[in-house]
Every structure is written in structure tokens, then in C-alpha cells.
Amino acid sequence: MRNHVEERQRWMAVLARASCQELEQAYSDLSDAPPYVWLRPPESGLVLLRGQAGETGTSFNVGEATMTRCALKLADGTMGFAFSLGRDQRQAELAALFDALLQRGGETVSVALKVISELERTQSLRRDLKSRKTASTKVDFFAMTQAREPE
């Protein structure tokens, strides 16, 4: 049970980080998009962001962020949910649809897992590129103080 929950959390994180264009492309690649009804149509609102200084620091309010949530149900009764940062309602809709597809049995699961793995790979490449760009600007202050001329 725990393994399935962790796997679903990973899928949901990948779907939440995916752009609307990536999800639209994956949706257009589906051979047969299933019909669905809304349990909760996409709606945008604010969430409070909390921060913490260090592992033992006191929590504090950082600010607010816009997010969109929705829930849908496929014809076979499978439900899909999505929460994403921003106000893109189509992104949340597609993420919820893929969440529902990942919970179904049969061939649609393998198609949805292929989409998730491709999105995850793309996101990993983006993260690595961003890390390399950030690392290239790193300044070693200890080395700078050691290189200083004695007075």
C-alpha cells in the first residue's frame, strides 16, 4: 500500500510541474481520450506559503501563491485530482485526467506511465541545466580571503 501511495505522489508531483504545453502534447498523443464529468471544475485561489529557517527554526509566513485545483470522474468511475501553481485551468484539467488514467487498469496505464516517465526525464534535464548554470556563478569566499594580500 505504501509503495503505491509513494508512486502516486511522484506521479502527481511530475504532473504538477509539467507545463500546459507538455500536457497538451501528451493529451494529443492519446489514441482515445476518455470522456469525463467534473466533480469539481477547475478553480483558482490563493494558498499561504510557509517557510522555516534551518531544520529547527520557527515557521513563518512567506507569502501567498496562486494555485488551481480540480477533480474529475471518468465514465468507469475512476477519479482524478490535480493541484498546480498558477491560474492555468487547462493545465490542472489535463493533470487530473492523467491522474485518473494512471489509476485505471489495462493499456491506458502503460500509455500514461510512458507520458509520466517522459515528463520526469524532461524535468530532470531542466533541473540539471539550472543547477549547472547556478553552480557556474558560485563564488568561493574562503578562497578569496586566502588570496588577499597581507597588510
Q: How sure is the predictor about 32, in pLDDT bands with cuts at 50, 70 and 90?
A: confident
Report pLDDT for 84.
Answer: 92
Q: Is the pLDDT of residue 145 over 70?
A: no
Q: What is the pTM of this model?
A: 0.76
Q: Is the pLDDT of residue 124 over 70?
A: yes
Q: Is the pLDDT of residue 82 over 90?
A: yes
**Distance in angstroms (rounded) separating the CA atoms of residues 13 and 90:** 17
Q: Where are the domains of the chain?
A: 2-146
Report pLDDT for 86.
Answer: 94
What's the mean pLDDT in 8-27? 88
Q: Is the pLDDT of residue 41 over 90?
A: yes
Q: Is the pLDDT of residue 9 over 90?
A: no
Q: What is the pLDDT of residues 102-119, one digit of tens each?
A: 888 666 667 777 788 888
Q: Is the dihedral of CA 43, 52, 119, 21 positive or negative?
A: positive
